[in-house]
Amino acid sequence: MFGCSRLKQAGVLISAAAAVLLACPVASAAPAAAGATRQAVVNSGDAMYTVSPGPGREPYYCSAGFAILVQGVRYILTAGHCTEHGLDWQGIGPNVDTHFPVTDYGRIRDLSGSGHSRVNLYDGRTQRILRAGIPQVGQTVCKSGMTTKKTCGKVLGLNQTVNYGKGKQVVGTIATDIPIESGDSGGPLFYGGVGYGVLSGGNSQVSFFQPLRSVLAAYGATLA
């Protein structure tokens, strides 16, 4: 689904009102990046691997979002454009649902036996996520993903609309200046012990995240 090389990037319009950017969702159909092997415990930001059910059996890589509980059942939250592809995620479990476009989130049944929702900081440490919050414009935030690892930046805007082309838009996103690359999709936006969203898409200048609070409310979920 990664198609940045085929899409013309338009200018970024960030304001208090909704902004529109022709950007790219960033699931990866490329070979696995170094360090993409699944760990025994699935942390937020870890690499995930699946194979398309289509005739080409195309491989896809995304990043794990937050570990959540719905009626006592454990799931990995990630981007919806990730869960619209593939069947089982290796070492984790099967796709459960997908919500894309308009929103961009989906669930994977987590059979890995992981513990609390923790973000991989890619320095040998993890950060426990204790609650979901809403960031402020100008606030420092960080993201974790399989390709660009942990990187930080600022919130540029809330309630932003991103246009992925072919009539696919995602509304209500959190925009940041954190650059992202192929394979980072689904990874968490956070700061300290607060989770804010899961990565939908973007480019080397701006990134867009599906807000975590709205997803938890839609599922009737809590953080694991």
Per the CB < 8 A criterion, the answer to whether 107 and 213 are in contact is no
CB atoms within 10 A of CB 165: 15
pLDDT digits (tens, 9 = 90+) for 48-67: 999 888 777 888 899 999 99
pLDDT digits (tens, 9 = 90+) for 101-151: 999 999 999 998 778 999 999 999 999 999 999 999 999 999 999 999 999
More confident residue, 126 or 15: 126
Percentage of the chain lying above the pLDDT 70 cut = 82
Q: Is 85 part of the annotated catalytic residue set?
A: no
Q: Is 81 part of the annotated catalytic residue set?
A: yes
d(CA 11, CA 220): 37
How confident is the model over 151-168, as a mean pLDDT?
Answer: 96
d(CA 172, CA 43): 26
The single residue of 112, 144, 182, 185 carrying the catalytic annotation is 185
pLDDT at 4: 29
Per the CB < 8 A criterion, the answer to whether 199 and 207 are in contact is yes
Is the predicted pLDDT of residue 99 greater than 90, yes or no? Answer: yes
- Using alpha carbons, list the distances in angstroms from residue 109 to 15, 77, 91: 37, 9, 11
The class that CATH gives domain 4-27+117-211 is mainly beta
pLDDT at 26: 60
Per the CB < 8 A criterion, the answer to whether 219 and 158 are in contact is no
The single residue of 46, 104, 110, 184 carrying the catalytic annotation is 104
Is the predicted pLDDT of residue 23 greater than 90, yes or no? Answer: no
The single residue of 28, 44, 46, 81 carrying the catalytic annotation is 81
Q: Is 104 part of the annotated catalytic residue set?
A: yes
Q: Provide the whole-model pTM.
A: 0.85
Is the predicted pLDDT of residue 196 greater than 60, yes or no? Answer: yes
Return the domain boundaries, the chain: 4-27+117-211
Q: Which residue has the tokens 């414009």?
A: 137
